[in-house]
Every structure is written in structure tokens, then in C-alpha cells.
């Protein structure tokens, strides 16, 4: 099979777009050339190029096939549909007996001709998140100016260009020429295969493989740091980004001016990362080291001494800025900054950050005793939690919000528990982050997310599809993780109701404030406002926070989390459908009990019987339903239906009692008793008998079976 090799060489591609660009190239080429059965895709991406290599069939052989169509006397629409399906004109049909027949023939086509045909439209419509046009009148766009195209099949150039009508496509055409390192090996050179391309780039100071560049960076920094008794502070995101910034990574170590070492390590790390893409280092004890690592793009003749000195000067200036914010911010206590939050908008429909802080205080006081926290400390932490948003440090480094607030709180003499809560209340930010541990921190972290969910659901800003601009999915997962990790017994329905009441008051206050502004403007124009407007705002039914929607949203996030853990997420959906339980610990315990029960022989067979009963009920209810869940004992004739009815009456209250007591395994055991009598019923009792009353009574008995089992879970939602 000949190798297809494509390289798209351009000006510098943003690091965050490189991998996705290479993956999109492979996907689009795979779709466009599917008929050639491409396989063995290998993708490459870096600062100035994305590329792929794959194996293809050499050609598509000629084919001939005969397709029998509709009968000669068939409707005209049937014949038209047949021709449309096969893309054939009517004059290609011939009659064979009573049927129309189509002879389909295709000519042999080379892979090269198919590649040449597919590539121009593919490149013209390439889905970069952002693209640009450059020079001349061409409408062809790329992420950055595209300079060269390699397209080889079996070592030979597949000729095509990017012209389209009057558009010259910047004169770009397929060739076999590329370029090496911009400074160390300028100039073009030809290649004949992917392997030769990699080899020739390597001798021209370019590592084409992104994973190799990452490894070189990580190992190189580790080696250089190890010589000084230091180690790299892990930062996978920065490693990915830097690997996309250099083609030939050269690790170097610089010194940090000692006078900046008293800055908080988080401040130093964020300043290095955000401004300069430097790596932080730590000593054997884990404390920040007075050194930093960075990646140069060339191997300098002086070993990088001049480059290192230049970077040290740049970092000194960055740290001087951080020092300024650190010293200036601490002159004003956090508590004195809280009033400034009244002028900082949280959301146009939800009012200010100051208004939100009041809501967090109320929620924190409610949550504190539920999680074992001191209500006074929780209220204080909620009051100060957002104050660092108006500091210079957070204005310069937004990633430090919360973290820097904790430092400032300690400087102000606040209780360490309050400082910890300010620092930790944004946790967990992602799946790899820990959850808050101290009770006060837990209370503030939960209050922050519960308010966030209640607020945005109240104004209808719910996530849709892949869109989640207010990170509500992350907030929901944060609530779930905190509750699961600490096994907190919380009644979320009441908490969201309480949060909703505060949110509604904030929305009304915000709207009235705007009405007052409108009235003032109208007064200037000598126009009177409608006196009923304010009342209509307060009575607006759209303001109601729909707690049940939020609980369902949380259950869906929990279901997704269980699926990622390889657990029975369908069982969770079935249990939640039986009753929207707002205690996640209880909900999960019940889910585990049902999942374990379904793994037993009794559970599996009872699920089959449930589905059989549910199917019969669904079919018959279309005819003359619905049916009640109470069978008339007088109409029970056969022993099997009498035994089943008596057992249902006996176990229904037992199951309800065990569920209420959270004895879920005992509830499963009680339900398992149904298996034998239910199997016997289906074996020996005919449901749809000729006698209408008896038929209806037996259907009611099946409804009773479904109703009793639905106390535990809606088994219709169980998959498999």
C-alpha cells in the first residue's frame, strides 16, 4: 500500500490549536478518502506545521454490477426513487422480464487522482477555530499564512493547487519541499517520505513529533534541575503549551533574585507561567527554589549564558510588579474592600458581587451546622471570600483569586479557618483537584456552587449541548464531589429553595434599580412611567427558581460521573426516577443496592418479568387503559394469581418501610420474594382471556406488580 504524506507548513500556529488541527486533518482526509481504505494514521504538529502519514489502497478497480429495480408497472415515484438512490438517468435502465434493471459500471481510478480531487476543497474549508486571510485578493484563509504544501503518494508528488475560479489561492500548490529551523537551518529542501521528512527535519534542528518534544523538555529540565538538587514542579498544561512553542527545545536554568523569595510561591509560579512560560522548581523539602527553568529554541554557542541572563532580567521585572501588588494590596484589609464589590457586576440580571456576597453569607450560616462548621466563622469567611477580586494582584493574575485572599486574610489577623476557606472555596476546579477539607471551607465551597446553580437556573441560563458559559456543569460536579468525598447528609432540595429565595430577591432588586434609572431618564424627558411596571416585575413568575430542575441536573451530572467510573449509571437514573431523592449519599447507597441485586439470579430474572409485565400493560392500555393498581380479590380464580396478589399486599409495606429506614439490602431481599410467584403467574395464567372483567383484573394485578417494584426504582430505565 502506498504511503500518503501531507505537510501543511505555515507561519507560527498558536500552541492551543496545533493538536486539534492535526486531528482535524486526519479526520477530514479519512472521510474524504474513505473509498481508499486509509489506515495507520500518524499525525504530527508543531509551531509551524501540521502533518499526517497514512497508507492507502493504490487505486479503485473498475466495477460492474446489476441492480434490479421496481416492476415495470410500479408507480412513477418508486422508479424515480430508485434512480435517485443510484444517481443514474432513466436512459440507463433496461427491461428484464417484469422488472427494470440498471447496469452500473465505474471506471478504475488511481488513488492519486482521488487525492488531488479531495485536497483543495478540504483545505479551503478547514475548520480552524480562528483563521486569517493575507496579501492580495485571495479569499483562502488559514490559521496563519500558509507557505508550503507537501502531498506525496508513494514518494511521488500528487499535483494540485488551491485556485478556485478567479481566486488564485495565494499561488499555493502541492510539492515535496519543506523547511527546517527558521534560524539554524533556513532554506528549503525536498523529501520523498514521512520517514525521510522526520530524519531531514531532525538534522535541521526540528523535532517533528510533539510527544518527543514534550519528553525532551521534561527530561531536560529534570536533568538540569537534578544537577542542582532541585526538581520540576509538575505542570502538564504548561508542558503541552511550551512543546507547541519551540521546534528544537533546549532546557536552561536561571536564578531568581533572592529579594523576591518571600513572595508566596503561588504568586511566583503564576507570574512565571502566565507572563513568560517559565517552569517553577522546588527544593528537596518541596519549598520553592530560587531558580526557574525555561526552554530556548536554539543551542547557543555560549551554552545559553546570554539567553539566561536576558530571561533573568525579564523575570526580575515581572516579580517587581508582583511585589508592588503584594505590598500595596496588604495596606487595605480585605474587610475594607468588601463595599467595592457593590460596584462590580456579577451578572447583568443578578446584580453585583456585593449582592452575591450577602447571599453567600446567608447560605453559609445555614450550611455550617450541617457540615460541622462554626456558623460565625462560616459567615465571616463568606463575607470575605470575594474581596480579593478587587485587589491589584487578582486584577493582574486572575488565577490567584481565592489563593491570594487567603494570604491577605492571614495578614489581616483573621482566623486561620477563615483564611483556609477563602483559599479553598473554589476547589475543586477540575477532576484532578482535591476537595476542601476543613468544615468552614466545605461550607463556603458548597454555598458558592449552590448559589451559582440557583442563580443561573433562575434566569434561564442553563447549559445547552456543548455550551456552558457559566461553568454550571463544573459547579454541579463540585457539589457532587464534596458531598461524596465527605459523605455529607444534606437535603439539597431545601438548600436550593433557600438559595432560590435569596436569588429572587436579588433579581427583583436589580430590576427595580434599573426601573428607577429609567424613571429618572424619563423625568428628564418629561415623560411619566407606567405605575404598574414595578408590580409586574415583582410578580414575574419567570423568577421562580425551579429546584426540581437543578436536582435533575445534578442527578444527570452524577450519572455521567458514575459512567466515567465504570459504574451502573443506568441504575442511578432508575432509582432517581422512582423519587427525586435530594440526599446524594442515600441515593448512591440505594443505587449500589439495586445494582448488586441485579447481579444476582433473582434480580436478573425479576427484571425480565418486570419488563414483560410493563410491555403487556403498555400494549393493553392503548386499547382500554389506564388500569388501577388494585386487583379485585373476588375475580382472582387461579391459585397463581391469588398467591401473587397476596404476596404483593404483604411485601409492599415491608419494602416501603425498609426503604424509609435506608435498609436497602433488606428491601431488595423483600422484593426478591416476588420472583417465584411472578414466574409461576406468567407460566400458568393467561392475561388476555375472553372475559373482560377477568382480563382487566389481571392487568390491574400486573400494574400492582409494577407499582410495588417502582417503589425501589423505575426498572424500565435499566439498560441491557
27 and 166 inside one domain = yes
491 lies in some domain:
yes
Same domain flag for 418 and 478: yes
Number of domains in the chain: 5
Residue 617 phi, psi dihedral angles, 5° rounding: -60, -45
CA distance linking residue 225 with residue 273, whole number of Å: 17
| 226 lies in the same domain as 194 | no
pLDDT at 327: 96
User: Looking at the structure, do residues 708 and 663 belong to the same domain, yes or no?
Assistant: yes
Element (H, E) at 679: helix 675-684
Question: Do 54 and 152 reside in the same domain of the chain?
Answer: yes
Report the pLDDT value the prediction gives residue 506, as an integer from 0 to 100. 87
**CA-based R_g, the chain, Å:** 35
Domain boundary at 498, 523, 548, which?
A: 523
Res 440: pLDDT: 98
Q: What is the pLDDT of residue 150?
A: 98
Report the predicted TM-score, pTM, of the whole model to 2 decimal places. 0.81
**% helix, strand, coil for the chain, step of 5:** 55, 15, 30
Q: Are residues 184 and 220 in the same domain?
A: no
DSSP string, 416-448: HHHHHHHHHTT--SSTTSPPP-SHHHHHHHHHH
287-291: long-range contacts at Cβ-Cβ below 8 A with a sequence spacing of 24 or more? 288/261, 289/228, 289/230, 290/255, 290/256, 290/258, 290/261, 291/225, 291/228, 291/230, 291/253, 291/254, 291/255, 291/256
For the chain, the first-to-last Cα distance in angstroms comes to 41
| 143-179 pLDDT per residue, tens | 999 999 999 999 999 999 999 988 999 999 999 999 9
Domain with 454, as residue range(s), is 334-523
With a cut of 50, which residues of the chain have pLDDT below it? 533-534, 536-539, 541-544
Q: Is residue 559 part of a domain?
A: no
- Of 506, 523, 540, which residue sits at a domain end? 523
Burial label for 66, CB within 10 Å (0-12, 13-18, 19+), is exposed
Same domain, 635 and 677: yes
Gap between the Cα atoms of 37 and 40, Å rounded: 10
Amino acid at each position: 500500500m502506498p504511503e500518503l504524506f501531507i505537510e501543511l507548513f505555515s507561519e507560527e500556529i498558536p500552541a492551543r490549536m496545533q493538536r486539534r488541527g492535526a486531528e482535524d486533518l486526519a479526520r477530514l482526509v479519512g472521510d474524504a478518502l474513505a473509498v481508499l481504505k486509509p489506515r495507520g494514521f500518524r499525525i504530527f504538529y508543531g509551531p509551524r506545521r501540521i502533518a499526517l502519514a497514512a497508507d492507502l489502497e493504490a487505486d479503485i478497480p473498475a466495477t460492474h454490477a446489476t441492480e434490479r429495480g421496481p416492476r415495470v408497472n410500479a408507480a412513477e415515484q418508486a422508479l424515480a426513487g430508485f434512480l435517485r438512490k443510484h444517481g443514474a438517468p432513466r436512459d440507463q435502465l433496461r427491461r428484464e422480464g417484469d422488472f427494470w434493471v440498471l447496469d452500473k459500471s465505474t471506471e478504475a481510478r488511481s488513488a492519486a487522482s482521488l487525492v488531488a480531487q479531495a485536497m483543495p476543497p478540504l483545505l479551503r474549508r478547514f475548520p480552524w477555530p480562528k483563521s486569517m486571510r493575507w496579501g492580495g485578493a485571495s479569499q483562502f484563509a488559514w490559521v496563519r499564512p500558509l507557505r508550503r504544501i507537501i502531498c506525496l503518494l508513494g514518494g511521488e508528488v500528487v499535483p494540485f493547487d488551491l485556485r478556485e475560479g478567479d481566486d488564485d489561492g495565494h499561488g499555493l500548490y502541492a510539492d515535496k519541499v519543506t523547511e527546517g529551523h527558521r534560524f539554524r537551518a533556513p532554506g528549503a529542501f525536498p523529501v520523498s517520505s514521512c520517514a525521510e521528512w522526520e530524519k531531514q527535519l531532525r538534522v535541521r534542528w526540528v523535532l517533528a513529533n510533539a510527544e518527543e518534544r514534550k519528553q525532551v523538555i521534561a527530561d531536560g529540565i529534570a536533568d538540569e534541575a537534578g544537577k542542582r538538587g532541585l526538581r520540576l514542579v509538575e505542570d502538564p498544561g504548561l508542558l503541552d503549551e511550551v512543546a507547541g512553542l519551540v521546534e528544537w527545545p533546549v532546557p536552561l536554568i536561571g536564578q531568581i533574585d533572592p529579594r523576591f523569595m518571600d513572595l508566596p510561591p503561588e504568586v511566583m509560579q503564576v507570574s512565571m507561567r502566565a507572563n513568560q512560560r517559565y517552569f517553577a522548581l522546588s527544593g528537596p523539602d518541596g519549598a520553592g527554589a530560587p531558580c526557574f527553568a525555561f526552554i530556548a529554541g536554539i543551542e547557543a554557542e555560549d551554552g545559553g549564558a546570554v539567553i539566561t541572563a536576558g530571561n533573568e532580567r525579564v523575570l526580575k521585572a515581572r516579580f517587581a510588579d508582583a511585589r508592588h501588588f503584594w505590598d500595596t494590596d496588604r495596606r487595605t484589609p480585605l474587610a475594607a474592600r468588601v463595599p467595592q464589590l457593590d460596584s462590580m457586576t456579577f451578572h447583568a440580571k443578578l446584580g453585583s458581587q456585593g449582592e452575591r456576597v450577602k447571599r453567600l453569607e446567608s447560605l453559609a450560616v445555614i450550611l455550617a451546622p450541617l457540615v460541622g462548621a462554626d456558623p460565625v466563622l462560616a459567615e465571616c469567611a463568606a463575607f470575605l471570600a470575594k474581596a480579593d477580586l478587587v485587589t491589584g494582584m487578582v486584577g493582574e493574575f486572575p488565577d490567584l483569586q481565592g489563593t491570594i485572599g487567603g494570604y491577605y486574610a492571614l495578614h489581616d489577623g483573621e482566623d486561620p479557618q477563615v483564611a483556609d476557606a477563602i483559599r479553598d472555596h473554589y476547589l475543586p476546579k477540575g477532576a484532578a483537584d482535591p476537595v476542601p477539607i476543613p468544615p468552614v471551607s466545605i461550607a463556603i465551597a458548597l454555598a458558592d456552587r449552590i448559589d451559582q446553580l440557583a442563580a443561573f437556573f433562575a434566569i434561564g441560563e442553563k447549559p445547552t449541548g456543548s455550551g456552558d458559559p457559566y461553568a454550571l456543569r463544573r459547579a454541579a460536579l463540585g457539589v457532587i464531589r464534596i458531598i461524596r468525598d465527605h459523605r455529607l447528609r444534606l437535603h439539597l432540595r431545601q438548600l436550593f429553595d433557600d438559595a432560590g429565595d435569596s436569588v429572587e430577591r436579588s433579581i427583583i432588586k436589580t430590576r427595580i434599580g434599573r426601573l428607577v434609572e429609567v424613571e429618572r431618564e424619563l423625568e428628564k424627558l418629561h415623560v411619566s412611567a407606567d405605575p404598574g411596571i414595578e408590580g409586574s416585575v415583582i410578580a414575574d413568575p419567570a423568577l421562580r427558581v425551579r429546584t426540581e430542575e437543578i436536582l435533575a441536573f445534578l442527578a444527570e451530572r452524577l450519572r455521567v460521573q458514575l459512567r466515567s467510573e465504570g459504574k451502573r449509571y443506568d441504575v442511578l437514573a432508575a432509582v432517581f426516577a422512582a423519587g427525586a431523592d435530594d440526599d446524594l449519599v442515600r441515593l448512591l447507597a440505594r443505587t449500589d443496592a439495586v445494582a448488586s441485586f441485579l447481579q444476582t439470579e433473582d434480580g436478573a430474572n425479576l427484571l425480565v418479568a418486570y419488563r414483560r409485565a410493563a410491555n403487556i400493560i403498555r400494549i393493553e392500555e392503548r386499547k382500554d387503559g389506564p388500569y388501577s393498581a388494585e386487583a379485585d380479590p373476588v375475580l382472582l380464580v387461579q391459585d397463581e394469581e391469588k398467591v401473587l396478589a397476596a404476596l404483593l399486599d404483604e411485601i409492599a409495606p415491608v419494602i416501603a418501610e425498609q426503604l424509609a429506614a435506608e435498609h436497602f439490602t433488606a428491601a431488595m431481599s423483600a422484593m426478591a420474594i416476588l420472583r417465584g410467584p411472578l414466574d409461576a403467574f406468567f407460566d400458568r395464567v393467561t392475561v388476555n382471556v375472553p372475559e373482560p372483567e377477568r382480563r382487566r383484573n389481571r392487568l390491574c394485578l400486573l400494574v400492582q406488580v409494577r407499582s410495588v417494584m417502582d417503589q425501589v426504582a423505575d426498572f424500565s430505565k435499566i439498560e441491557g
